[in-house]
């Protein structure tokens, strides 16, 4: 017999907006005593915002929260903590140079006649950790312990004797499997003591290993709440993506485009065991000259991180990048540029366009960086390049001296692509090249990408829009949980295969 569910935390119709974004729209959520409850959704779905509203970091615009039947509206994290809601964020916010005991009590140590009673603190820290079955020397510096143990210390610090709810936002991102197991042991113990635990994780396997129930968010809206045992993985993935499974199953697999003639079958760029601990598990990739290789996966699955490793923005800690059969050293974007790589990032506003510069200056930026700033391009050459690409890509501008900030999104995107083309890359990485632009510009950019491949460029295409990938690519790599899980080619390049790969792990 199952015990009746007893709600500890109830959220009713919570809304929260930021300028230009509705992060939460009338979301309901219920956490029961003695359960581990996963909050799932792609990046940007609203998980962290919901947690931050619950814990007094953000103030909600509308809605109500109840803890143990009483209405609460914490306005600071401290107040939420005092009410019995303890939170541990992804980043361990502790101080490595202090001892474990000091970290557990920092900022709130008891005083006895103005003095800090160290023996009391040590004993309290020991007891707090013992509750988690962790037995370590609390007089050692925190920094001398593994990240996993540091996280246990963070949990011990967060948990008061009065805590009824524990919230963990992506606590496992930087843990190895045995460390995850240690965390799970602690979570199960606290659950069995009756605590309600909210667990946010990117990792599907972890969610299925530990959670009793799952609430799915999408674009700031509640999709639904489900018992884990009754929610097949395919269904979960479909719900996170806002797709109908039934529609997918009847969908005919689309014939993939013919392998283009003229494209050589020589791998131009290869990654062998390329990885970075805590970011991307080691993976192999090979991209041929004249080929568009697609990278598919949910938002947050590690696609952009792969691009950043290849382009030297993030530093790999294992594996090799091989160009034309020769291992190359790429430690920075500048090294990558010298190898003939180009990377058109997703976040145009922060890492792409320089709003105050003209279209001409924006187009010449990457080539100038490749030449080195001591060898400036002549003004004449700059004018020629700008005119050439404005025509070639059909960029709508009055003239090349117009500030890029005044252009439409689609035209800005074309300028950024022009910038990387002007650097004459052999290998072009495009991260969401058509996001946020209108349909017409999308079609033009898709055509442009195709024509670049036809000319022999190797292209890595990242897109959340699977139909775009399916249309443009003959081969797809599927990512999940920061791992390459499958490679699809030919007839396998269709939505249903991508979904299966994501749900089942390849």
Site of interaction with Mg ion (CB under 5 A): 47-48
C-beta of 46 vs 74, nearer to ligand ADP:
46
Site for ligand ADP in 49-88 (CB under 6 A): 49
The listed partner (Mg ion, ligand ADP, none) that binds 38, CB under 5 to 8 Å by sort, is none
340 near ligand ADP, rule: CB under 6 A? no
Candidates 10, 25, 28, 44: give the one binding ligand ADP (CB under 6 A).
44
Candidates 9, 14, 23, 336: give the one binding ligand ADP (CB under 6 A).
23
CB of 55 to ligand ADP, least distance (A): 13
Tokens of 118: 């160290």
Candidates 2, 18, 70, 178: give the one binding ligand ADP (CB under 6 A).
18
Q: Are 426 and 439 in contact (CB under 8 A)?
A: no
What are the beta bridge partners of residue 14?
27
What are the beta bridge partners of residue 474?
none
Binding segment for ligand ADP (CB under 6 A), chosen from 41-49, 259-267, 436-444, 478-486, is: 41-49
CB of 52 to ligand ADP, least distance (A): 7
Question: With CB under 6 A, what is the number of residues at the site for ligand ADP?
Answer: 11
**C-alpha to C-alpha distance for 476 and 146, rounded to whole angstroms:** 37
The listed partner (ligand ADP, Mg ion, none) that binds 59, CB under 5 to 8 Å by sort, is none
Tokens of 51: 């947690």
CB of 246 to ligand ADP, least distance (A): 26
Candidates 5, 6, 21, 116: give the one binding ligand ADP (CB under 6 A).
21
The listed partner (Mg ion, ligand ADP, none) that binds 45, CB under 5 to 8 Å by sort, is ligand ADP
- Cβ burial of 13 (10 Å; 0-12, 13-18, 19+) is middle
CB of 207 to Mg ion, least distance (A): 14
- Cβ burial of 142 (10 Å; 0-12, 13-18, 19+) is buried
- Give the residue from 284, 315, 206, 293 showing the smallest Cα distance to 485: 284
- Give the residue from 158, 225, 199 showing the smallest Cα distance to 36: 199
C-beta of 50 vs 422, nearer to ligand ADP:
50
239 near ligand ADP, rule: CB under 6 A? no
- Give the residue from 55, 145, 72 showing the smallest Cα distance to 104: 145
Tokens of 71: 């209405």
Q: Which residues of 460-496 are buried (b: 16+ CB within 10 A; e: fewer)?
A: bbbbbebebbbbbbbbbbbbbbbbbbbbbeeebbbbb
45 near ligand ADP, rule: CB under 6 A? yes
Could you identify the residue written with the tokens 């299925």?
208
The listed partner (ligand ADP, Mg ion, none) that binds 41, CB under 5 to 8 Å by sort, is ligand ADP
C-beta of 46 vs 124, nearer to ligand ADP:
46
CB of 21 to ligand ADP, least distance (A): 4
Which region holds residue 53: left if phi is over 0, alpha if psi is between -120 and 50, else beta? alpha
Q: Would you tell me how many other CB atoms lie within 10 Å of the CB of residue 313?
A: 17
Binding segment for ligand ADP (CB under 6 A), chosen from 4-12, 46-54, 288-296, 488-496, is: 46-54
48 near ligand ADP, rule: CB under 6 A? yes
H or E segment and range at residue 409? helix 409-422
C-beta of 18 vs 373, nearer to ligand ADP:
18
User: In this structure, are strands 213-218 and 475-480 parallel, antiparallel, or unpaired?
Assistant: unpaired
Residues that bind ligand ADP (CB under 6 A): 18, 21, 23, 41, 43-49
């Amino acid at each position: 017999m199952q015990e009746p569910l007893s709600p500890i935390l109830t959220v009713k119709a919570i809304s929260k907006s930021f300028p230009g974004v509705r992060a939460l729209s009338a979301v309901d959520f219920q956490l029961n005593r003695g359960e581990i409850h996963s909050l799932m959704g792609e990046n940007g779905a609203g998980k962290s915002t919901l947690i931050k509203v619950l814990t007094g970091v953000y103030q909600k615009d509308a809605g109500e929260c109840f803890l143990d039947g009483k209405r609460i509206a914490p306005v600071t994290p401290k107040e939420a903590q005092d009410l019995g809601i303890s939170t541990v964020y992804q980043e361990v916010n502790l101080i490595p140079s202090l001892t474990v005991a000091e970290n557990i009590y920092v900022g709130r140590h008891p005083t006895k006649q103005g003095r800090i009673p160290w023996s009391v603190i040590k004993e309290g820290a020991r007891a707090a950790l013992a509750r988690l079955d962790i037995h370590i020397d609390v007089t050692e510096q925190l920094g001398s312990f593994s990240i996993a143990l540091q996280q246990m210390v963070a949990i011990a610090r967060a948990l008061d004797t009065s805590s009824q709810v524990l919230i963990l936002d992506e606590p496992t991102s930087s843990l190895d499997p045995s460390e995850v197991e240690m965390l799970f042991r602690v979570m199960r113990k606290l659950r069995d003591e009756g605590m309600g635990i909210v667990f946010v994780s990117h990792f599907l396997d972890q969610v299925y290993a530990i959670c009793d129930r799952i609430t799915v968010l999408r674009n700031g809206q509640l999709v639904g709440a489900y018992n884990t045992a009754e929610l097949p993985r395919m269904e979960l993935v479909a719900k996170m993506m806002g797709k109908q499974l039934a529609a997918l199953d009847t969908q005919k697999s689309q014939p993939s485009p013919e392998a283009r003639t003229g494209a050589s079958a020589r791998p131009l760029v290869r990654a062998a065991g390329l990885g970075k601990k805590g970011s991307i598990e080691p993976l192999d990739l090979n991209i041929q000259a004249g080929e568009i290789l697609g990278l598919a996966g949910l938002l947050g699955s590690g696609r952009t991180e792969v691009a950043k490793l290849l382009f030297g923005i993030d530093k790999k800690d294992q594996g090799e990048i091989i160009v034309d059969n020769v291992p190359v050293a790429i430690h920075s974007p500048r090294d990558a540029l010298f190898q003939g790589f180009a990377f058109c990032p997703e976040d145009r506003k922060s890492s792409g366009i320089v709003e105050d510069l003209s279209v001409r200056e924006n187009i010449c930026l990457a080539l100038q960086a490749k030449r080195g700033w001591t060898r400036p391009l002549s003004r004449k050459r700059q004018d020629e390049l700008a005119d050439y690409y404005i025509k070639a890509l059909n960029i709508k501008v009055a003239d090349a001296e117009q500030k890029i900030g005044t252009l439409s999104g689609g035209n800005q995107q074309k300028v950024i692509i022009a910038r990387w083309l002007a650097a004459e890359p052999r290998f072009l990485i495009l991260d969401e090249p058509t996001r946020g632009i209108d349909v017409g510009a999308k079609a033009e950019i898709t055509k442009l990408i195709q024509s670049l491949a036809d000319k022999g460029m190797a292209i890595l295409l990242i897109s959340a829009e699977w139909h775009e990938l399916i249309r443009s690519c003959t081969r797809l790599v599927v990512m999940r949980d920061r791992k390459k899980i499958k490679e699809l080619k030919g007839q396998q390049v269709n939505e249903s295969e991508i979904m299966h790969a994501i749900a089942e792990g390849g």
